[in-house]
Amino acid sequence: MTTRRQFVAGTLAGSLVGLTGRAGAQAGTQIRISTAAPPSDFLTKALEELKADVETAKVGLNVSVHPASTLFKQGTEVPALQRGNLEMSTMNTFEVAQQIPALGLFNRGYLFNDYAHMRRVFDGPFGAAYRAAVAEKMGIEILATHYLGTRQVNLRQKRAVKTPADLAGVKMRMPGGPEWLLLGRTLGVSPVPLGMPEIYLALKTSTVDGQENPLPTIMFKKFYEVQSHIMLTGHITESLLSFCCGNHY
């Protein structure tokens, strides 16, 4: 059986090797991959498998994986790609919308019914147009799109939540950026922008009342130690986990 991380790694390795062939990379070309995911996350493990697959292919690439925002702070990877300071990273649709506001439609709550719906959209004409727009307007090549997870609301303390009105006054950690903050207000919370490394302490010290992330992230980051309740809101089927590199490469 192929695991999710093996599928991600295999798809990416094929795309990266193919791109290398077109670009004519010289022997010893360095590919640094930056991600906010912690070392224990399936995403980081998938990137490590990608590294191993590319090295096995012997195409002249030296791949290194930098998890937990240790190379570039979360939110700064995209500008680093565009400036040629970084070779590869993970990116989502919210980061795209910061530079191409018209594509913010992909960030709305409850846009997709489920994973299969998301997959049909990004594997079809809409997805092709999306990748073309990102390449043209941002100078970034999307190598593959994958499913990160379905985001759920998490709270430090027990609270009955059935409608957005029930979340009034809740300080909810959200990633930085206007599209994320808009999503938070749509959910009914008072959004507080914080980077991923800051969430655990913010929950522990009551700086925020909750956060929203997919269930695997809650496990890998051990947020269950500092929060007590999960509401299965499923408000975002993480619609694009983009693996990308500057198309100057």
> For 17-76, what is each residue's pLDDT tens digit?
555 555 445 557 899 999 988 898 888 999 999 999 998 998 888 999 999 999 998 889
Together in a domain, 192 and 78: no
Together in a domain, 86 and 196: no
Together in a domain, 26 and 115: yes
Together in a domain, 15 and 45: yes
Please name the residues in contact with 34: beta carbons below 8 A apart, sequence gap of 6 or more: 66, 69, 71, 72, 77, 80, 86, 88, 89, 90
Confidence of residue 145 (pLDDT cuts 50, 70, 90): confident
Together in a domain, 22 and 126: yes
Can you tell me the distance from the alpha carbon of 141 to that of 34, in angstroms, rounded to the nearest whole number?
Answer: 15
Together in a domain, 35 and 60: yes
Together in a domain, 190 and 90: no
* Average confidence score pLDDT of the chain: 87
pLDDT above 60 (res 4): no
Structurally, how many domains does the chain consist of?
A: 2
Together in a domain, 28 and 76: yes
User: Which range of residues forms the domain containing residue 10?
Assistant: 4-148+239-246
pLDDT above 60 (res 125): yes
pLDDT above 80 (res 15): no
Together in a domain, 138 and 201: no
Together in a domain, 84 and 121: yes
Please report, for the domain that includes residue 172, its CATH number. Answer: 3.40.190.10
pLDDT of residue 28: 75
pLDDT of residue 1: 47
Confidence of residue 12 (pLDDT cuts 50, 70, 90): low
Q: What percent of the chain has pLDDT over 90?
A: 65
pLDDT of residue 7: 47
Q: What percent of the chain has pLDDT over 70?
A: 86
Together in a domain, 231 and 214: yes
Please report, for the domain that includes residue 128, its CATH number. Answer: 3.40.190.170
- 41 neighbors 213 (Cβ within 8 angstroms): no
- 218 neighbors 212 (Cβ within 8 angstroms): no
Together in a domain, 181 and 219: yes
